[in-house]
Amino acid sequence: MDSLVEINWGIIGCGNVTELKSGPAFNKVEHSNLIAVMRRNTILAEDYARRHKVPKFYSNADDLINDSEVNAVYVATPPDTHAFYAIQAMKAGKPVYVEKPMARTFAECQEMIRVSEETGMPIYVAYYRRSLPAFLKVKELIKAGSIGKPLAVNVRLHWALGDRDKFPEKQTWHVKPEISGAGHFYDLASHQFDFLDFVLGKVTEVHGIATNVAGYYEPEDTVSAVFSFESGVKGTGSWSFVADKQAEEDSIEITGTNGSIQFPCFDKGDVILKADGITTKLSFVNPENISYNLVKQVVGAMRKTNECVSTIYSAARTSWVMEEIVKSYYKK
């Protein structure tokens, strides 16, 4: 792909995730402009465009992809159409930024990679924790040897049953495997595994057990896993989305030969470093639009002024890990 001077974005799927987390960032980053949005509901697409001062709106994705002024596409739909729209955009000669998880299945990720390599159009995936200050500090501390040689990591995410999950008529695509690929595990654990890939290297072996304990929806609601990284670090994880409210927990803890680092993945909280008998709490502030730092990297990568830390290859690895963990549940 030749470098672009100005990145003129079109968003396919301007839903809730784009309202604050990502959408405004496309106009805040230098050399980046949001010029078109698409949503199947024309009224909602027009409303989004009006509120965010976007010049064009569409109700058909083909029209946005084929807009000659749009030279990059952000796919922010549910996962079942990530591959479909990304492949359409790449075949139209336009690079893609796609929401996470990269696709519904690892096979879809592989097809996206194939088309990217065939067309020369890059894909970047919205794993923005790779660019946030707290998570970059964790990576820096580990690289500097602050906890000695990393030995093990433990991931715990235990959340109470969401109000919408209690009623079939209110349930979102997050608990509909035909759309999401699995349950909440795919939506949330993907951020955790992607960050661990960034810090500890790729997972080379993984085994998991997934089950549905509460019976409110079809996919798994409780998951356990063990995994090993190419760096030699061993990992364990526990996820439940039907836990008691008082038992809620969001924690990643990396233990080394000289200490440990503990931090939340989703909740606001400090990075806690324990080393040499001293406990240090480190606090950080995220950008208003939490995807801003990564969008800035993506724009720079498309303009060939820098690299981007979140690629199709790293994102596909995360999809493989999650699929391996829950595969026995879906083969039953």
Segment holding 241, helix H or strand E: strand 234-243
How far apart CA 74 and CA 23 sit, in angstroms, is 9
Per residue in 56-82, pLDDT tens? Answer: 999 999 999 999 999 999 999 999 999
pLDDT tens digits for range 171-204? 999 999 999 999 999 999 999 999 999 999 999 9
The span from the CA of 139 to the CA of 125, in Å, is 19
**Over the stretch 204-240, which tens digit does the pLDDT of each residue have?**
999 999 999 999 999 999 999 999 999 999 999 999 9
Q: Quote the percentage of the chain above a pLDDT of 90.
A: 98
Residue 316 tokens read as 């596909």
pLDDT band at 137 (very low <50, low <70, confident <90, very high): very high
CA distance to 22, 37, 132, 202, per residue, from 287 (Å): 11, 23, 8, 28
**What sections of 97-172 are H helices per DSSP?**
106-119, 133-143
DSSP state of 105: S
Mean pLDDT on 118-141: 98
Name the strands in the sheet holding 278-282, side by side, starting at the edge strand that comes first in the sequence. 203-211, 222-229, 234-243, 150-160, 249-256, 259-263, 271-275, 278-282
What does each C-alpha distance from 39 to 47, 63, 231 come to in angstroms?
10, 11, 43
The pLDDT value recorded for residue 86 is: 98
Delimiting residues of CATH 3.30.360.10 domain(s) in the chain: 133-285
What integer pLDDT is reported at residue 34 of this predicted model? 98
User: What integer pLDDT is reported at residue 331 of this predicted model?
Assistant: 87
Torsion of CA 110, 25, 36, 11, to 10 degrees: 20
Average pLDDT over residues 310-322: 98
For 27, 146, 269, 271, the CA distances from 280, given in Å and listed in that order, are 37, 12, 13, 8
Helix, strand, or coil here: 81? helix
Q: In sequence order, what are the residues at sequence separation of 6 or more whose Cβ sits closer than 8 angstroms to the Cβ of residue 71? A: 4, 7, 8, 94, 95
Locate 97 and state its tokens. Answer: 């930024």
Pairwise CA distance, residues 72 & 284, whole Å: 31
Has residue 1 got a pLDDT over 90?
A: no
Question: Model pTM?
Answer: 0.96
303-312 mean pLDDT: 97
CATH class of 7-126+290-310: alpha beta
Query: The tokens of 331 are what?
Result: 């083969």
With a cut of 80, say whether residue 296 has pLDDT above it: yes
The token duo for 63 is 């029209």
Question: Tokens for 5?
Answer: 């001077």
The pLDDT, as a whole number, for residue 246 is 97
Quick count: other Cβ atoms within 10 Å of Cβ 90? 24
Give pLDDT, residue 2.
72
Q: Answer whether residue 332 shows pLDDT above 90.
A: no
Numbered ranges of CATH 3.40.50.720 in the chain: 7-126+290-310
- The pLDDT > 70 percentage for the chain reads 100
Closest CA to 216 of 255, 163, 252: 163
Q: Return mean pLDDT, the chain.
A: 97
Q: What is the pLDDT of residue 112?
A: 98
What is the rounded CA–CA span in Å between residue 113 and residue 116?
5
Fold held by 133-285? Dihydrodipicolinate Reductase; domain 2 (3.30.360)
CB count within 10 Å of CB 302 equals: 22
Residue type, 113: I
Burial (CB count <10 Å: 0-12, 13-18, 19+), residue 141: buried
